Amino acid sequence: MVVNNTEKSDLKTVNKTPFQLTLKRFMKNKLAVAGVITLSLIILAVILAPLLTEHDPTKGDLMLIEQGPSSEHILGTDGSGRDNFARLLYGGRISLIVGFAATLFSLAIGLVTGSIAGYYGGRIDSLIMRVADLFLALPFFVLALTIIAILDEVTISVFVTIIAITTWPSLTRIIRGSFLSLREQEFILSAKSLGASDFRIITKHFLPNAIGPIIVNATLMMATMIIVESGMSFIGMGIPQPTPTWGNMLSEAQNIRVLRDHPEAWIPPGLGILLTVLSINFIGDGLRDAFDPKSNRR
Amino acid sequence: MYKYIIRRLLVFIPMIFLLTIIIFALATAAPGDPLTGKKVDPSISPEVYEQQREELGLNDPLPVQYFNWISSFAQGDFGESMFYNGRSVESLIGARLLNTVYLGLFAFAITLLVAIPLGIYSAKKPYSLLDYGGTAFGFIGLAIPNFFFGLIAIYVFSITFGWFPAQGTTSDPNLTGAAALLDRLHHMVLPGLTLALAGTATYMRYMRSEALDVLGSDYIRTAKAKGMSERSIVFKHTLRNALIPIITLTGYEFGVLLGGAVITEQVFNYPGLGTLFIDSITNRDYPVIMAINLLLGVTVLFGNLLADILYSVADPRIRYD
């Protein structure tokens, strides 16, 4: 009975590419599709920020600090008289860009170290993995803050670099793991005996076969990056003012007066983070199921 | 099993060495040294300053400095704070460490008490209302930044309802006995819940999937066929076996918990290691920063080691390859 079913679906899908099959499985996951829609709306809103508000998120009017909502400032103003709605939109831009850039950077480090460790094995592998284990074990939040304390000035690019160099090991592990499982396969052996260079084998044979787990984990990592950025900005050690991010908007709520009297100032950026991270996690889980139909969800 | 423990220990030692190297490198990269303040003091002549540098070993080659640094740490001498005018780092940390330990244990107790029963129940009755509720809680618990949750908790339970205090560890330091303990617990409820949130979500998802695996195994069917009671199946067979992987998870979640404590303590102005760490970052008080790094690093590595050893005791099938 079960066998019949799979045969039937195999017949139906016989002329579809692997990409189409993956996409089809992904579209069946309602939460993942909801995640894509929500995230698209958020991205659209932050891109169209100049059309949605005419206020400058970095310039405030000191005569109008900590105002409640009004038709002019629909979410009120912050402690420096800046428009909260404009900061919400432009801050989302920074939070998303930082999250995305940090993920790409971390992925780049993970790809290089993971490929070297998984492909060559031996001593270089144990060295890379010991360092990775160490970074995985340490509270990387503490490590990242320590590096920030040593540096004089933190710009967005420095900040992205710091969170990338403290978070790369989880991607290294994944990439190394998939390389190890592929290493003994015949097509790798055949590529080697045909005299392909190491670089060619890694980029043309290993990576395309490991692409599923890499995309899934990079996606989930972006969610972590957004939380990390907001956490560090929240305690005043992230992206410096006056550049808005969701995290440093929330840091205003450390002031009990803002927390108590102006929930409209701190709840929206918090919800922004929550919705973004939730959407990304849904998409990541959906991608995992789509790439690997056998996986059971944790 | 002894072989495994010995091999695991042999991995542990180079890890500790690597950790100290990294932190020493960071400490060396940090601007300033114990004499930075004295250099600008006009009453100290350059010769005396140089002599003091020599005496403190600041002109020694780096490997020698590293060795001196690590041996004074091993003897419990963590150096002097650069911000609190020469107060010893261990006296600064000592006062705060216990508070963080209490908060961490409290949060961990909440995590276990919520996550294990909820995970087991969800696995027993999948697709029930509680299972869906648990899944939703899991998703949100992992997606909500703990400081945002903390702020909401303060806004709702402290400001609106006034049930729990939002700050500190005690409202009256003169309390004694049971009243003091209750007061302390009362202050720990909100930060404890905030710190426990992410861990609870993670443990619950693990517990559910592990218990689902166990419930589908042959020995559970055998136990059912023998006519054993539900109770005995759940507690004796399912729970015990599903808990084994949780031991390893605990080793890794330990570092996450400590990292989360930094932000949680900041939100609730809780006088623990986390607030001391953030103050030290703000004041650029490097000796304190490095001491906390080393302390946390060693604790986490030791926690991982312990978890791995306990795991090999609980599951004799485990081999180290």
Radius of gyration of chain A (CA): 23
Nearest chain B residue to A228 by CA distance is B145
B15 closest CB neighbour out of A130, A148, A236: A130
pLDDT, position A54? 76
- Best mutation target, A138, A230, A298, to test chain B (most B CBs within 10 A): A138
Residue in chain A nearest B13 by alpha carbon: A130
In this prediction the ipTM stands at: 0.83
pLDDT in tens, B105-134: 999 999 999 998 998 888 888 888 888 888
Residues of chain A with Cβ-Cβ distance to B278 below 8 Å are 145, 235, 237
Residue A294 has a pLDDT of 59
Q: Prior bond to A242 cis, omega within 30? A: yes
Return the pLDDT at A298.
Answer: 39
pLDDT > 70? residue B36: no
* pLDDT surpasses 60 at A3: no
Task: Judge contact between B37 and B71, C-beta under 8 A.
Answer: no
The model's confidence at residue A279, banded by pLDDT at 50, 70 and 90, is very high
Q: Which residues of A touch B18 (CB under 8 A)?
A: 130-131, 134
Nearest by CB to B293, from A146, A278, A282: name it.
A146
Residue B13, exposed/middle/buried by CB under 10 A (0-12, 13-18, 19+)?
A: exposed
Cα(A229)–Cα(A103) distance, integer angstroms = 12
Residues in chain A within 8 Å Cβ distance of B154? 259
Q: Are A297 and A285 in contact (CB under 8 A)?
A: yes
Cα-Cα-Cα-Cα dihedral sign, residues B224, B227, B229, B232: negative
pLDDT tens digits, residue range B253-272?
777 788 888 899 989 888 88
pLDDT-derived band of residue A275, with 50, 70 and 90 as boundaries?
A: very high
Closest partner CB to B26 (pick from A146, A250, A277): A146
pLDDT digits 0-9 by tens, B165-206: 878 777 777 777 777 888 888 888 899 999 999 889 988 988
Q: For chain A, give every domain's residue range.
A: 34-49+88-293
Range A19-22 contact pairs with CB under 8 angstroms and sequence separation of 24 or more: A22/A290, A22/A291
CATH code, residues A34-49+88-293: 1.10.3720.10
pLDDT of A9 above 60: no
pLDDT given at position A12 = 54
Subunit contact B205:A223, Cβ cutoff 8 A? no
Q: Give the residue from chain B lying closest to A268, CA to CA.
A: B148
A-chain residues near B145 (CB < 8 A): 227, 230-231, 234, 250, 270, 273-274, 277
List the single residue in A137, A254, A274 with the smallest CB-CB distance to B148: A274
Name A74's bridge partners. none
Contact (CB<8Å) B151/A259: yes
Determine the residue of chain A that is closest to B144 in CA distance: A274
For A115-159, how does the pLDDT look when each residue is reduced to its tens digit (9 = 90+)?
899 888 888 988 888 888 888 777 778 888 888 888 877 788 888
Contacts of A262 in chain B (CB under 8 A): none
Q: Which residues of B touch A139 (CB under 8 A)?
A: 255-256, 258-259, 262, 296, 300
Which of A58-67, A105-114, B76-85, B282-291: highest mean pLDDT?
Answer: A105-114
Give the C-alpha separation, A277 to A281, whole Å: 6
In chain B, which residue's Cα lies nearest the Cα of A279? B143
Nearest CB to B300: which of A139, A147, A234?
Answer: A139
d(CA A267, CA A76): 12
Residues of A in contact with B204 (CB under 8 A): none
| CB pair distance less than 8 Å for B267 and A273 | no
Q: pLDDT tens for residues B270-301?
A: 888 989 998 888 888 888 888 888 888 888 88
Shortest CB distance from A281 goes to which of B139, B284, B296? B139
pLDDT at B252 (0 to 100):
75
Question: What residue ranges define each of the domains in chain B, with the CATH number in brackets?
Answer: 94-314 (1.10.3720.10)
Cα–Cα distance measured from residue A171 to residue A168, given in angstroms and rounded to the nearest whole number? 6
